[in-house]
Every structure is written in C-alpha cells, then in structure tokens.
Amino acid sequence: MKIYYCFYPIIFIIIIFTASCTSSGKSAYEYNNVISNEEITATESVYKFKAAIENQNYKQLEQIKEEGISKLTKCIENIKNLENYKGSSKYKNAALHLFEIYTEIFENEFTEIINLYKQNNKLISNEINLKILKINKQTDKKIEDAINILKKCQIEFAEENNLLISKGE
C-alpha cells in the first residue's frame, strides 16, 4: 500500500509539467482572440487610409500612413511573440502574412497615392483619379487574397480545437 503513495508526487509533477508545456497557458479561445484582435487593429489602420483618400489631402494621408505602419509594427511584434499553439504556427503565420501584406501596401501603393496627390496638389485630373482607383483595386485584391488565407487557417484552427466562429456580416 505504501508503494502507491510514493507515486503521487511523481504523477503530480508529470501533470504540472504537461500543463506548463501548453501554449503559455492560453486556451484555443484566448489564442484565437489574440490573433483576431491584432487583425482588427491592423485592418482598421488600412481602411482608415482608404477612407481618407477621398479627402485628397496628402498631409493627412502621410500622417495616417505613419500611424498605420506604427500599429502594424506592433501587431507584427505581438503575433511574433505569441507562442505556437500546440506546436502549430500555421494560423499565426497566416496572420503575419496578412500584416506583412498591409505593410507592403502602406510602403508601396499608399506611398504612390500620396505622391500622386503631392505632385498634383492644385488640380486632380481624371487621369490621376483613374490611377488612384487602379491602385486601390490592386490593394483590394492583395488584401482579399491574404484575408482569405487567414480565414481558412482560422476555420481550420477552430475545427481542430472545437471552437465556434461567428461569421461577420
């Protein structure tokens, strides 16, 4: 009988060790929320710029661009610091991919839009408006592709971890 009592501390240590090896103690729900919250922050910064394009104020766009890049840098850092969940980094990497696409858009396409407004500050011709519209459509395609990848990984993550994901309107 006394032999069995000596196994209790060993079993307790094994349980504690196993529990400490999970993803920083985050549940699947918490892990998903961290990524989703960062995605919301990053996406809002992109769409804030897109909404401000109509104002044709390059100084305002430059400010929004700098704020957006700063927010994206923080989002990328927060996700990079997030441990893989149960050894898998697929969902995390899909979020990082989206944020890197957003960063590229700020640095390239949005900078191009700002420069078009700077060069044509007094008079924005139809030709310039068409260029800006074309650039916007290109960014929409890039964003849509990256978001679809992230959504697919989020759905797979939810299915693997028995989470219910509500569909956005």
Cβ–Cβ < 8 Å for 58, 107: no
Q: Is this model's pTM higher than 0.85 or not?
A: no
Tokens 């068409």 belong to: 130
pLDDT of residue 160: 94
Residues paired with 85 in a beta bridge: 88
Cα three-residue angle 60-65-66, rounded to 5 degrees: 100
Residues paired with 88 in a beta bridge: 85
Question: If you compute the radius of gyration of the chain from its CA atoms, what whole number of angstroms results?
Answer: 23
Q: Domain extents for the chain?
A: 27-160
Q: Which fold is adopted by the domain 27-160?
A: Four Helix Bundle (Hemerythrin (Met), subunit A) (1.20.120)
**Per-residue pLDDT reduced to its tens digit, 50-100:** 999 988 899 999 999 999 999 999 999 999 999 999 999 999 999 999 999
**Per-residue pLDDT reduced to its tens digit, 120-130:** 877 788 899 99
Task: Indicate the average pLDDT of the chain.
Answer: 86
Closest by Cα among 30, 159, 47, 20 to 102: 47
pLDDT of residue 164: 85
Closest by Cα among 39, 37, 152, 51 to 99: 39
Cβ–Cβ < 8 Å for 32, 157: yes
